[in-house]
Amino acid sequence: MVRIELKTQIAAPMGRCFDLARSIDVHMASTNQTGEQAIAGVTSGLIGAGETVTWRGRHFGFMVKHTSRITAFTFPSHFQDSMVRGMFQRFSHDHYFETKNDLTVMSDVMEFQAPFGFVGRLAEKMALREHLRSLLEKRNYCIKRVAESDEWKKYLPLR
């Protein structure tokens, strides 16, 4: 099993960062390189506890689908999405949020396991780890950029 951990500091309120991280529309804006689209379940707006989304996008030249459910949800500090259907044997992504020194620290813990035994472990080491880390870094940069500007108003209801 592979574990990826990232921390991103964002100069914006924790609740805003939490909501942007669960925004289907922000996710699609951050994955233009793979053309990911939400095609079933929650397909726009904010995903919440117990809800699912099915993504379709191009990875390694193949169109793939991935369905996740929000399996843990504590506003505004944590949520988890876990794979229901997709190309992995196991996949989960925990999103943590805390305030430190007037910044929001967004922490990601992604764990996954490829199918197919030895061949899957080889794929994890040779390509999947770096591919998913890169996607996560691009997503986090997008969340940071949106949260720290007025662009967040395009994605979130004004409170």
For residue 80, tell me if it sits in a domain.
Answer: yes
Between the CA atoms of 76, 14, 7 and 78, what dihedral angle is there, to the nearest 10 degrees? Answer: 0
**Structural domain count of the chain:** 1
Please indicate, yes or no, if residue 39 is contained in any of the structural domains.
yes
Residue 103 counted as domain residue: yes
pLDDT higher than 90, residue 62: no
pTM over 0.75: yes
CATH code of the domain containing 16: 3.30.530.20
Quick check: is 159 in a domain? Answer: no
117 within a domain of the structure (yes/no): yes
How far apart are alpha carbons 54 and 31 in whole angstroms? 14
Give residue 117's region: left, alpha or beta (phi > 0; psi -120 to 50).
left
> Any bridge partners for residue 5, and if so which?
109
Domain assignment of residue 16, given as a range:
2-154
Q: pLDDT tens, 16-57? A: 999 999 999 999 999 988 889 999 999 999 999 999 999 999
